[in-house]
A and B are shown apart, each in its own frame.
Chain A
Amino acid sequence: EAQVTQNPRYLITVTGKKLTVTCSQNMNHEYMSWYRQDPGLGLRQIYYSMNVEVTDKGDVPEGYKVSRKEKRNFPLILESPSPNQTSLYFCASSSIAMGTHEKLFFGSGTQLSVL
């Protein structure tokens, strides 16, 4: 089954304790992206990747890191989480083969709480 898998689904942590949210897709998609969703602010893009070893900042990249060492994985790293990073996070992927964006597939989300 084609899917984007995020882990964990829920995470509670404390300020400053490094964490990683994993994202994996099984569709051989080139494009992957991370979004955060906060009440009243919709989905905001954090980072995206057009292919392996190619990453770039979205609209709200501060406090986050990503890596794209393999095509299927795109982990989101919070080196020193702060309470303002408490949010619902979504990973997404799509094919851009032949230069044409296909539809985005989203993961189920990760609800992060930073105390």
Chain B
Amino acid sequence: DAKTTQPPSMDCAEGRAANLPCNHSTISGNEYVYWYRQIHSQGPQYIIHGLKNNETNEMASLIITEDRKSSTLILPHATLRDTAVYYCIGYYSSASKIIFGSGTRLSIRP
């Protein structure tokens, strides 16, 4: 699995876009980049994933650099309910071990 590096914490004003970076310089060609978030002590929740192209769904957008060494998760209009720990992880489509790092604790300011 690719080792990922994320800032330990970030904050964002409510209503603004939250941009969460992730470095994954060791990611291999067929490893996907996945984003999950964990609100308080609940089970982590899937947000989005991608391989090469940028992706968008109802929750967020994922921007992956052309060299695939980093990505950014964008929450377009952050709300207080987006306060959570966000995990960026990389793994193969057929992976068995899926390793989570420490993530980024995102705080949303009213």
A residues sitting closer than 8 Å to B (CB atoms) are 4, 31, 33, 35, 37, 40-45, 48, 50, 56, 58-59, 88, 90, 92, 96, 99-101, 103-109, 111
Contact = CB atoms under 8 A, between A and B. Distances in A.
Interface of B: 32, 34, 36, 41-46, 49, 87, 91-103
A106 B48 CA distance: 15
8 contacts: A4-B43, A37-B41, A45-B98, A48-B96, A59-B99, A92-B43, A104-B98, A108-B42
B96 A43 contact: no
Given A44-B100, A109-B42, 10 more contacts: A41-B102, A45-B97, A92-B43, A101-B93, A101-B94, A103-B34, A103-B46, A104-B36, A104-B46, A108-B42
A106 B45 contact: yes
Given A90-B43, A108-B42, A42 B94 contact: no
B97 A59 contact: yes
A50 B96 contact: yes
B21 to A, nearest CB: 18
Contacts of B93: 99-101
Contacts of A103: 34, 46, 49
B104 to A, nearest CB: 11
B32 A101 contact: yes
Contacts of B49: 103
B43 A109 contact: yes
Contacts of A48: 96-98
A64 to B, nearest CB: 15
A37 B41 CA distance: 9
Nearest to B99: A45
Contacts of A35: 100
A107 to B, nearest CB: 5
